[in-house]
Amino acid sequence: MIIKTDADIIKGYFEDYSGLLGGYADKVILPENEKEARDILLEASAKNIPVTISGGGTGVTGARIPFGGWMIATEKLNKTIDINEASMTATLEPGVRLSDLENELSKKGLAYLPDPTEPNAFLGGTISTNASGAKGFKYGPTRNYIKRLKVLLSTGDIIDIKRRDYSIKRGSAFRLRLKNKEINIKIPDYSMPDIKTAAGYYIKDDMDLLDLFIGHEGTLCFILEADIALGKRPEKVMSFFSFFSSEDDAINFVKDAKSYKAMSLEYMDANSLSLLRIKYPNIPNRAQGLIYFEQDYKKEFESVVIDSWTKLLEKYNALTEDSYFADSDKERAKLRELRHALPDAVNEIVKKNKLPKVGTDIAVPDKHFKEMMGFYKEKLVSSGIDYVIFGHIGESHMHVNMLPGTEEEFKKSRLVYIEFVKKAVGFGGTVSAEHGIGKLKHPFLKIMYGENNLKQMALLKKSLDPSCILGLDNIFPKELLK
């Protein structure tokens, strides 16, 4: 066990990509095995000391930033315990970095299919937020690939569960029998939107108990091990950066493209392209939107795949002569570099303005997507605030990044965000599709679910964390635990 208390050494743990400031803790503890993790939680429970669990620090909602108590960092629990090619599963500790996992799997021709976009994220963190990435359109979120979890409760109890071990009902009291005790888990009765979502605890009729511990944002347990499902690496992949002269053409293209079984369907608006032209001047000036998509295929069908996509692009007036195409890892890396240049450009503006961006993580049902996009544009243009819109258009999930230049614009951005949330919730959407709620989005979750359902979440937490020490202020305000 490693314990760090020097203020200059541990301050780096009190940061993530959210920009939330002011975090602090008495010490940062790095357990190196299950026993040490258990001893830490038992001591913290006995002394009523809050505990924040830290992954790779790549989150954007402030979930890993502590405000007092202790922090448990998972970086020493980073073993790949097993990769089983016969069962197509891997058993891993929570501190395994996604990039390291990718490197190991690629040597065996395997892949972790949900592929959350941030390579520096830890597996445990992606499970705790039910993370997803660009390939979520085809493969879905992390939840779909978790086969087993071994978790440690703040009581010192260990739960080792596989998918389909237990089925639980929404609104019930579920009795989980352990070796020497029984835990009565109070399951909320609220309804989740039937779309991609990472907002609050996962609750569905006849759900799998395992799913309670996916997307819990460090509030219910400490993940010790996970079994994940693997897939074969695609034989071939082609990637397109296709520019369109109108936003409508780009959006209408996506409607048809969804039936083509692409791996990913991503969008950038005209403002995003204007930012990118600073570094990539070859982006056509007449382009008003971009769709980035990838298709996996077998070599013998290459010409058929290319022909079908080309016809669809032509149908929607894509600027095919100005667009980019890649069918090798080297060329695809260049396109990924361009794609990731947008967040970097946004961060440069944030540094220059010395004000944080205000970024959404909203998704809506497909039938409301076009109307939601229209609402975004209407409110953003009337606000006068600089912005970019990009994201997972295949799942009707956009990231609207407002870039305020003054304190007044920053305050206005927060109010505009509330308007977006109310509109999306009215459409049956979610306030967080992939990043979770953390400490920053309590008001949005309250709009989505209401005060009474947040109280149900608090009761669920108390069932599994009776001392109420884990992940305080993540998902809902800690005051609801009183």
Q: What are the pLDDT digits (tens) for 248-283? A: 999 999 999 998 889 999 999 999 999 999 999 999
- Mean pLDDT score of the chain: 94
CB 145 within 8 Å of CB 101: no
CB 89 within 8 Å of CB 229: yes
Interval 107-141: pLDDT, tens:
999 999 998 878 899 999 999 999 998 899 999 99
Residue 447 vs residues 119, 365, 374, 402, 443: alpha-carbon distances, Å: 32, 17, 21, 21, 6
Residue 202 vs residues 100, 464, 467: alpha-carbon distances, Å: 28, 15, 22
Cα distance between residue 96 and residue 78, in whole Å: 4
Interval 171-228: pLDDT, tens:
999 999 998 899 999 999 999 999 999 999 999 999 999 999 999 999 999 999 999 9
> Which helix or strand (DSSP H or E) is residue 371 part of?
helix 369-383
Largest alpha-carbon pair distance within the chain? 69
Averaged pLDDT, 236-253: 93
Interval 290-331: pLDDT, tens:
999 999 999 898 899 899 999 999 999 999 999 998 888 888
Residue 478: the pLDDT is 97
Residue 27: the pLDDT is 96
pTM, two decimals, is: 0.93
Percent of the chain topping pLDDT 70: 100
Where are the alpha helices (H) located in 72-115, listed in sequence order? 98-106
Residue 441: the pLDDT is 96
Cα distance between residue 264 and residue 294, in whole Å: 5
For the chain, list the domains and their CATH numbers.
2-73 (3.30.43.10), 80-232 (3.30.465.10), 236-426 (3.40.462.10)
Residue 17: the pLDDT is 87
Rg of the chain on CA atoms, in Å: 22
Residue 332: the pLDDT is 84
Averaged pLDDT, 145-163: 97
Strands 110-111 and 231-232: antiparallel
Say yes or no to pLDDT of 356 above 90: no
CA angle 141, 147, 152 (to 5 degrees): 100
Say yes or no to pLDDT of 66 above 90: yes
Neighbouring residues of 300: CB distance < 8 A, sequence distance ≥ 6: none
CB 456 within 8 Å of CB 210: no
Averaged pLDDT, 87-96: 98
445: closest CA among 128, 192, 200, 189?
Answer: 200
99: closest CA among 76, 82, 115, 88?
Answer: 115
Cα distance between residue 104 and residue 102, in whole Å: 5
CA end-to-end distance (rounded Å), the chain: 32
